[in-house]
Structure formats: C-alpha cells, structure tokens
Amino acid sequence: QLNHTERQIVADGSAPRLKPEVRGWLRHLWRKAMTPDDWSRNGAPHPWWDDKSVAPMLSFARFDLSESSYGLLLLARKTPAWREVYTKILDELIRRHTTFWAAVDWLTKLGPDPDRARYPKAYRGLIPKDLWGNYDVPGWTANGIEPWGLQPDPIGSTGNLFFRGFFTLMLAIHRAVSGEATWDKPFEVTGLDDRTFAWTHRGIAEYLGNQWAGVPHGPHCENTKIWPFCLSAAGLGLQLTDLTLGTRTHWVYDRWVEEAFKKKFMGFDERGRLKWVAFYYDPLVDRVLGDRRIFGLFPSIYVVPQNRELGELLYRNAVASVGWDKRWMPVLYNGRDPRALTMGFLMAREYGDHTTARRLGRKLASMENARFFDADGGQDADEYGYFFQYGERYPRGQESALYMLKNLLDGEGEWGRAFGEQDTEKFSAPTVSDAEYPKLGFSVAWNDSARGVLQLESFAATSSARGDATRFRVRNLPDAHSVQVRRDDQIHQSWRATDSNSIEIETVVGDHRYEIVTGYRGAQPTRPGKTESNKTNSTSTTIARPRTSMTDIVTAASTVAAACPCCASAD
C-alpha cells in the first residue's frame, strides 16, 4: 500500500528534495533548539524565541515551539530515511514546553486582571462591548478565579486547554517522526511555585479526552473562554495520537463539531448558508464574540485534517467574505502581522483554489523580507527566515515557521494527508544516522524499494565546513556485508560494516549524490493472525475523514469588508 508521496515518485521517478530555503530554516531552528537557554523562573528564553506575535493571546514563546513542529512533520515525510535531526530538535522543543516559561501565563496571570479598566482601546474588538472594563482580555488565563480556584498543574487543570492541546499535538508529531516512546515515559512539567507534575504523552491525551467527554461545549482555553482555534488544534493532537499510539480519544472532537461548533460557534441562515463564525464563546455569561465569516479562517488549518468538508466551508467563506478570492479586487489587508494571509494562502493551496493562492502569494511576497543570515553574527549565512516588516534581528519564529510550510507542501491535500496518513515502514527501512549535522545534511533521503537502493544527496549545512572529512552510518540494512556504495556515479570504497545491519561511510562535507544498494525491497507483510496491538501492518495507514496584537489581525481581516461595498454586502 503506497502513500501519496510514494505514488508520486512511482509516477515521475524523482525522490523529494529539500529546497535551499527549507535547509536554511532547518539550520536556524537547529541553532535555536540546541543553544542552551534557561526557561526556568530564574532565567528567560533567548530573544530569538518568538514571544511577540499575535498579542495578547499567542505572544508566548511556547507557541514558537509548537508552530515550529509542523514543518518537522512534513520534513520527515520528504526525507524519511534521515530523521535524526528532526527528532533531536523536537526533543528540545518539547523539553522547553515543560518549563516555567512555557506555562508562564497560567503561573503568573492569577485571578481577575487588575488592569481591566485600563486596557488600550485596541482591545475593544476582543471584549463584549457591554462588559468593557469588567472582563479579562483574551490571553489573561485567570488561574484561580471561581468556580475553579487556584490550580497548580498547567496540564491537569480545568482551564488552560490551549497549553495541553498544542502540547499533545507536538508530542504526537514527535511520535510520528521518530517512532520512539521517549515522551510516553514519565516526565516532569513545571507548575505553580515550581512544583512539578509527572505526565506522559498518553496520559495527557487521555486526560484531555476524558475531560472533553464531560464538557460537550468544550474545555476552556483560558478560564471562561472556549476557542474553536485552540480546540481544533487539540483535536488534531488527539487524532495524531490515536494514529501513532493506538489510543481512542478523537471522538470527543467529532462530537464537539456536531453538537457545539456547528450549533454554538457558527450561524446559518434559513437556507443553511454560513453567516458567521465565533471568535470565542464564554459559557459563564453565555456570550459569543465575533460575527463574521472571516473568523473561521483561524481554526480552518487545524480543522482540515480532521473534517475536510467543514474545513473547506470555513476557508471558502472566510476568503469570500473579505474578497480575497475575487480576481478583480485588490487584496485588502492593513495589518503588519501576516498570519491571516498566510493561513488563507496555505488553505488555498490545500484546496486547489489557484486564484486565491496566486493573489495572496503575491501579497505575501511583497511583505516576506526573506533572506539567508547567520544568527550568531558570523559569515556563513546558512540560516534562512522570513523577517517580514518587523525590523528585528531574528525572524519571528511563529510567523516564519507557518509561512515556511509553503515550501514543504507540494500540492492539494498534502496538509491533510500529513496528519492522517502515517508511514510506519520508515522506522524499519534503511536509515541514515550519526551524521555530523550541522556540518553535513541531506536534501534527499529516500528508499527506492523497487530497485533496492537508498538514494541520498548531501549538502554542507555549514558553509565553512565544506570539504571537511566526515562520516555517517546507515542502519536497518538487510545484510550489511552485501551492500554496494556509489558516490557521484562512482564506486565508493571508503565504508565498512559496523555490524550485520549497519555500515559507516567516510566522505567529505559537500554536495554529493549517493546510491547505496541495500537490497531492501520494502516491509514484509505480517502473516495472518500475527498482528500486534496498537501497531499497523501496512506501509502506511490512513485515517478517513513593534509588537503586533491579535486585534491588528482581527481589525485587518474584518475591516477589509468595510473597505469594499461588495464584501460588506456579502456578509
């Protein structure tokens, strides 16, 4: 059974290849992840961790961690025979997500916000008009308010869904990339007063699923507020967890869509046409904030892999409401933060909406300010990012990572497949290990099972290392002693078997093509009756189905309609 990417390769004969921009982004993410910094109460994250984007809700460094993980999932699908770098980065992202600074809002924004009466006018669009001055702005987590009281564990809490929801998604991505149970063993999460709480990947997912089962309208993201954006990300984490761990948790999201999302968070006219989508819902005061279709754009990227039809409904109504799909109109957007445009662009490509993709792509290209650079101030300039128009030293990790997905998604439906099509064969197929990254990297790492050949293309991930002697291993070989190695179409003799299933290849850092004749012809099918619990027996398994504030995004997106009579009448 071939997955989508494998079918493409059979059709055109070419293995996926990482673009230079992707290689540069990976190099920068490696530097960020591997450079020690102190996320404890007594320290602070390095300035390159993005705690600026989408204030006041997402302006926390932990969202840089989670949004950087999506690209790593896609990278593992492109180079399934070279994943060790992605796994190491994910380990460091997840480790940081267990710290004080990851949960800083839950641990410091206690009780009602004392600044309620002094909020800037820019926050007015985020708070119900009649509650202005007596209501917490989104982003204020309000740990300790009634009826819940102070809860020290940022995961085992009633609110704070967005903390454990995005974390579950990261943990599931790690499992999908590595196949390793690293984070399904107990680890400590920092809570109030530096208390620690033991959790596992499975434990977090099951806690979230059980909690959600008891609250059909959905758990609170911050205390009092339920967001389709956060809940859909959490649901995606449960879906991928079910796929990789064999748990059964995702049904709570499916139920929420039918019993809550469509009934409480969306409004339809008498003909069943979508009229509005809620930004969030507060069940304590039974109040929905948001009355425009554009607000469906933000959760759509997480909805698509779980419910493709609903995701398309949200996406198409969102872009139609602001005229982004109308070729005769300019792309109206007055915000500096590109998030809404990026999400619209990615979803347009996901659904094959070429007109919208072309129009938003041009708009983003005029804003992206992309470049290679050296974050350490050196001369290599091997790192890459999208600086947009912030005028900052480092690319904002959240916005740059999301926009980088355009270089990793090859065509219609690829985003949805990444979270619903799990390749398990890569864990037992010939795989590169122990490469000296960040000196040496691989832009191609693919097993051609039809020929029994591992295809590799190397590159100098650090320019100054070009020409240096290096080595790497290939493991999971059927028979290490019968291997043949070619480099740049010539027999390469500098290798040795390290055991019956592994070899070590000596080479130099640089651009080289390798063909390693492994004899690997794909996973052997399991004999009937010899299945293992929670594991799949096929090659792939598919599941069916200055600081910019959030108000800038909301204003930029929702006021587009006001600038155009056609769009205004459409809503």
Six-digit token string for 530: 């010899």
Q: Are residues 530 and 399 in the same domain?
A: no
The residue-averaged pLDDT of 36-54 equals: 97
* Burial (CB count within 10 angstroms: exposed 0-12, middle 13-18, buried 19+), residue 490: exposed
- Whether pLDDT at 273 is above 80: yes
Six-digit token string for 29: 């993410």
- Give the structural domain span for 519: 431-539
| pLDDT for the residue numbered 535 | 38
Dihedral, 499, 502, 508, 510 alpha carbons, nearest 10: -170
Percent of the chain predicted with pLDDT > 70:
89
Q: Are residues 300 and 399 in the same domain?
A: yes
Sheet (strand 484-487) strand order: 440-448, 453-460, 512-517, 484-487, 490-491
Does the residue 426 lie in any domain?
no
Does the residue 504 lie in any domain?
yes
Six-digit token string for 264: 């409480």
- Whether pLDDT at 550 is above 90: no
| CB-based contacts of 263, cutoff 8 Å, min separation 6 | none
Q: Are residues 352 and 438 in the same domain?
A: no
Rounded CA gap, 186 and 173, in Å? 18
| pLDDT for the residue numbered 530 | 37
φ/ψ (deg, to 5) at 371: -165, 155
| pLDDT for the residue numbered 422 | 85
Rounded CA gap, 239 and 250, in Å? 5
Q: Are residues 49 and 159 in the same domain?
A: yes
φ/ψ (deg, to 5) at 203: -65, -40
The residue-averaged pLDDT of 466-471 equals: 98
254: closest CA among 239, 273, 272?
239
| pLDDT for the residue numbered 102 | 98
Rounded CA gap, 134 and 219, in Å? 23
| pLDDT for the residue numbered 223 | 94
Q: Are residues 235 and 122 in the same domain?
A: yes
Q: What angle do CA 503, 173, 554 make, to 5 degrees?
A: 145
- Whether pLDDT at 12 is above 60: no
Rounded CA gap, 325 and 323, in Å? 5
- For residue 259, the 8-state DSSP code is I
- Whether pLDDT at 191 is above 70: yes
Rounded CA gap, 238 and 216, in Å? 16
Structure confidence at residue 552 as a pLDDT band (50, 70, 90): low
Considering its fold, how many domains does the chain have in total? Answer: 2
- CATH number of the domain within which 356 lies: 1.50.10
Contact 101, 47 (CB under 8 A): no
Q: Are residues 494 and 553 in the same domain?
A: no
Q: Are residues 93 and 57 in the same domain?
A: yes
Q: Are residues 533 and 384 in the same domain?
A: no
- Whether pLDDT at 122 is above 70: yes
- Determine the 3-state secondary structure of 515 from DSSP: strand
Structure confidence at residue 287 as a pLDDT band (50, 70, 90): very high
Structure confidence at residue 529 as a pLDDT band (50, 70, 90): very low
Can you say whether the dihedral through the CA atoms of 418, 422, 424, 427 is positive or negative?
positive
The residue-averaged pLDDT of 354-376 equals: 96
For residue 128, the tally of other CB atoms under 10 A from its CB is 14
Can you say whether the dihedral through the CA atoms of 256, 257, 260, 265 is positive or negative?
positive
Rounded CA gap, 459 and 382, in Å? 11
φ/ψ (deg, to 5) at 222: -85, 165
| CB-based contacts of 517, cutoff 8 Å, min separation 6 | 452, 453, 483, 484, 485, 486
Rounded CA gap, 416 and 438, in Å? 30
- Whether pLDDT at 151 is above 60: yes
Rounded CA gap, 357 and 340, in Å? 13
For residue 509, the tally of other CB atoms under 10 A from its CB is 23
* 3-state secondary structure string across 436-467: CCCCEEEEEEEEECCCCEEEEEEEECCHHHCC
| pLDDT for the residue numbered 278 | 96
Q: pLDDT of 297-333, one tens digit each?
A: 999 999 999 999 999 999 999 999 999 999 999 998 8
| pLDDT for the residue numbered 565 | 35
- CATH number of the domain within which 459 lies: 2.60.40
Q: Are residues 67 and 193 in the same domain?
A: yes
Does the residue 368 lie in any domain?
yes
Rounded CA gap, 151 and 158, in Å? 8
Cis, peptide link before residue 430, omega less than 30° from 0: no
Q: Are residues 348 and 407 in the same domain?
A: yes
Q: pLDDT of 427-462, one tens digit each?
A: 999 999 999 999 999 999 999 999 999 999 999 999
For β-strands 540-542 and 421-423, DSSP reports them as antiparallel
Unique residue bearing structure tokens 């460091």: 92
Q: Are residues 123 and 173 in the same domain?
A: yes
Q: Are residues 328 and 477 in the same domain?
A: no
Q: pLDDT of 46-82, one tens digit each?
A: 999 999 999 999 999 999 999 999 999 999 999 999 9
Give me the amino acid identity at 359: R
Does the residue 360 lie in any domain?
yes
Q: pLDDT of 98-117, one tens digit each?
A: 999 999 999 999 999 999 99
Contact 396, 52 (CB under 8 A): yes
> Chain-centre distance of CA 341, in angstroms?
17
| pLDDT for the residue numbered 14 | 77
> Chain-centre distance of CA 210, in angstroms?
24
Unique residue bearing structure tokens 């991505």: 173
- Whether pLDDT at 425 is above 60: yes
